[in-house]
């Protein structure tokens, strides 16, 4: 069967992918969205389908459930005219245009299943977790991987909190959490922080923060409903202990979902797709990146949506330039 051709395809179905789709559809570009089937471990809709209340997405004064927000974005994409396919893309070839796309199960075939003149990559990222004993019970009941998302919830107010990690994220998240918690303990597995000097200094000087070096968590403990302590081991002395804590926040890094584009597009040292600052353009003309797969700093639904809008507008401009060039050469 001949590949199905579209002017533009979107890979990914989180806030970035759907916002790109809404803008592209409204520009009459009839985008196709490959929303994935548990791609990168997430249901269609992405990371927000794994959470409950989202209280910081504008337009929902009482908050909104993550799954509901993503259902609404999907419905909006469709209503605007995007075609949504529940397919995971397992291979792309961006060495020439039109770009070639293979759906899951067809990657061994020479012929792609789809082609597109422009592509928006919005495959997201996933926060690293440690899967401690007890984590399955207390995940989202005291354990989180996003302080900015979850820090303000009532269970953490004026309570001791723990952050795991020693990088810039851990420093930033621990300082952020001092607004809510009574005390923030940062567990660092080595004898030094990885965070930049300025962040490390700020963290170590904060009166509500205690940094514990050479310490790793071993168990998430609680009453069966909510977390109330974190057990730890000192990696040097092998001493074990327990810190009372109603919150445990992982800040041990994220993995951008870059498998599709690795080797075809420039990535930074942490594997995030490099975009030209202030745009969604990658080093491959016609290939645009949006959302967490290109953003290691903000990682929020609203910033992902914003970058999805940028990718759609950049793709629209690219396609109209292609059309003008084609008309001139006729
Ligand atoms: P994602 O949401 O990661 O979605 C990417 C999608 O692309 C996924 O559905 C995935 O399956 C799909 N995909 C990946 N690869 C392929 C492929 N090869 N083919 C097809 N599809 C593919 N942010 C906030 O602003 N507020 C919050 O309250 C908040 N709470 C959070 C709670 C949790 C538990 C988590 C994990 C995150 C939270 N975030 C929150 C962060 C927010 O979810 C992310 O910043 C945002 O979802 C990133 O959007 P995205 O579009 O880049 O990608
Ligand atoms: P990093 O990879 O920089 O740091 C991860 C931290 O988690 C390290 O201290 C690491 O320890 C620790 N860690 C990893 N795995 C484990 C584990 N299994 N158990 C215990 N600890 C663990 O990730 P970040 O998310 O902090 O930062 C990613 C990038 O984003 C960096 O380039 C950072 O500079 C940037 N960033 C910048 C910000 C800013 O400028 N304000 C804010 C946030 C991020 P170890 O050091 O021993 O490997």
Q: Any idea which ligand is nearest the CA of 19?
A: 1
Domain span(s) for CATH 3.50.50.60 in the chain = 4-126+254-329, 129-250
Query: What pLDDT does residue 175 have?
Result: 96
Coil, helix or strand for 149? helix
For the residues 286-295, what does the mean pLDDT come to? 98
Question: What rounded mean pLDDT belongs to the chain?
Answer: 96
pLDDT digits (tens, 9 = 90+) for 79-123: 999 999 999 999 999 999 999 999 999 999 999 999 999 999 999
Could you tell me whether strands 114-121 and 287-289 are parallel, antiparallel, or unpaired per DSSP bridges?
parallel
CA–centroid distance, 216 to ligand 2, in Å, is: 15
DSSP output for 164-178: E--SHHHHHHHHHHT
CA–centroid distance, 4 to ligand 1, in Å, is: 27
Q: Within the chain, how many helices (H) and strands (E) appear? A: 7, 19
Among residues of the chain, what percentage have pLDDT more than 90? Answer: 95
Confidence of residue 210 (pLDDT cuts 50, 70, 90): very high
Residues at CB less than 6 angstroms from ligand 1: 11-17, 34-36, 39-40, 42, 44-48, 50-51, 54, 56-57, 88-89, 122-125, 127, 145-146, 149, 257, 260, 291-292, 299-302, 304
Predicted confidence (pLDDT) at residue 203 exceeds the cutoff of 80: yes
Query: What pLDDT does residue 8 have?
Result: 98
Please tell me what DSSP assigns to residue 29: -
Could you tell me whether strands 227-234 and 215-222 are parallel, antiparallel, or unpaired per DSSP bridges?
antiparallel
CA nearest neighbour of 252 among 201, 190, 313: 190
pLDDT digits (tens, 9 = 90+) for 159-174: 999 999 999 999 999 9
pLDDT digits (tens, 9 = 90+) for 222-237: 999 999 999 999 999 9
- CATH code assigned to 4-126+254-329: 3.50.50.60
pLDDT digits (tens, 9 = 90+) for 21-44: 999 999 999 999 999 999 988 999
Residue 28 and residue 325: Cα distance in Å, rounded? 20
CA–centroid distance, 188 to ligand 2, in Å, is: 10
Residue 92 and residue 223: Cα distance in Å, rounded? 48
Predicted confidence (pLDDT) at residue 191 exceeds the cutoff of 80: yes
Record the tokens describing residue 300, joined without a space: 């929020």
Residue 117 and residue 207: Cα distance in Å, rounded? 55
CA–centroid distance, 164 to ligand 2, in Å, is: 10
Which residues does 148 contact at the CB level (< 8 Å), separation at least 6?
A: 56, 173, 176, 300
Confidence of residue 329 (pLDDT cuts 50, 70, 90): confident
Residue 251 and residue 188: Cα distance in Å, rounded? 10
List, in sequence order, every residue forming a beta bridge with 254; answer none if it has no partner.
127
Q: Any idea which ligand is nearest the CA of 200?
A: 2
Look-up of token digits 């994409």: 77
Among residues of the chain, what percentage have pLDDT more than 70? Answer: 100
Query: What pLDDT does residue 52 have?
Result: 82
CATH of 129-250 given 3.30.70.270, 3.50.50.60, 3.40.50.300, 3.40.50.720: 3.50.50.60
Residue 194 and residue 197: Cα distance in Å, rounded? 9
Residue 217 and residue 195: Cα distance in Å, rounded? 19
Question: Does pTM surpass 0.85?
Answer: yes
Query: What pLDDT does residue 53 have?
Result: 87
Confidence of residue 308 (pLDDT cuts 50, 70, 90): very high
* Helix residue spans in the chain (DSSP H): 15-26, 66-80, 135-138, 147-150, 168-177, 197-205, 301-329
pLDDT digits (tens, 9 = 90+) for 40-87: 889 999 999 988 889 999 999 999 999 999 999 999 999 999 999 999
Query: What pLDDT does residue 330 have?
Result: 77
Predicted confidence (pLDDT) at residue 19 exceeds the cutoff of 90: yes
Residue 151 and residue 161: Cα distance in Å, rounded? 10
Residues tagged active-site:
146, 149-150
Confidence of residue 297 (pLDDT cuts 50, 70, 90): very high
Look-up of token digits 């809709």: 45
Could you tell me whether strands 114-121 and 83-85 are parallel, antiparallel, or unpaired per DSSP bridges?
unpaired
Query: What pLDDT does residue 50 have?
Result: 85
């Amino acid at each position: 069967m001949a590949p199905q051709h579209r002017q533009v395809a979107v890979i990914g179905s989180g806030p970035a992918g759907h916002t790109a789709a809404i803008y592209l559809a409204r520009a009459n570009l009839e985008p196709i969205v490959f929303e994935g089937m548990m791609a990168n471990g997430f249901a269609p809709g992405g990371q927000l389908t794994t959470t409950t209340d989202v209280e910081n997405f504008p337009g929902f004064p009482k908050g909104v459930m993550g799954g509901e927000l993503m259902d609404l974005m999907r419905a909006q994409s469709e209503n605007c005219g995007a075609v949504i396919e529940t397919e995971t893309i397992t291979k792309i070839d961006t060495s020439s245009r039109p770009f070639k796309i293979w759906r899951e199960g067809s990657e061994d075939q020479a012929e792609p299943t789809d082609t597109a003149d422009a592509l928006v990559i919005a495959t997201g990222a996933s926060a690293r977790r440690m899967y401690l004993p007890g984590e399955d019970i207390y995940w989202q009941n005291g354990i989180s991987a996003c302080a900015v998302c979850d820090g303000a919830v009532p269970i953490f107010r004026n309570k001791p909190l723990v952050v795991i990690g020693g990088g810039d994220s851990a420093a930033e998240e621990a300082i952020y959490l001092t607004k809510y918690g009574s005390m923030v303990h940062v567990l660092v597995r080595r004898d030094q922080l990885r965070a930049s000097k300025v962040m490390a200094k700020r963290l170590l000087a904060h009166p509500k923060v205690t940094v514990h070096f050479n310490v790793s968590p071993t168990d998430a403990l609680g009453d069966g409903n909510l977390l109330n302590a974190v057990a730890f081991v000192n990696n040097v002395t092998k001493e074990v202990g327990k810190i009372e804590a109603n919150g445990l926040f992982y800040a041990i890094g994220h993995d951008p979902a870059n498998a599709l584009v690795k080797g075809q597009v420039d990535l930074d040292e942490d594997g995030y797709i490099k975009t030209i600052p202030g745009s969604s353009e990658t080093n491959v003309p016609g290939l645009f990146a949006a959302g967490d797969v290109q953003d290691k700093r903000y990682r929020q639904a609203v910033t992902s949506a914003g970058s999805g809008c940028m990718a759609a507008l950049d793709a629209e401009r690219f396609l109209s330039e292609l059309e003008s060039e084609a008309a001139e050469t006729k």
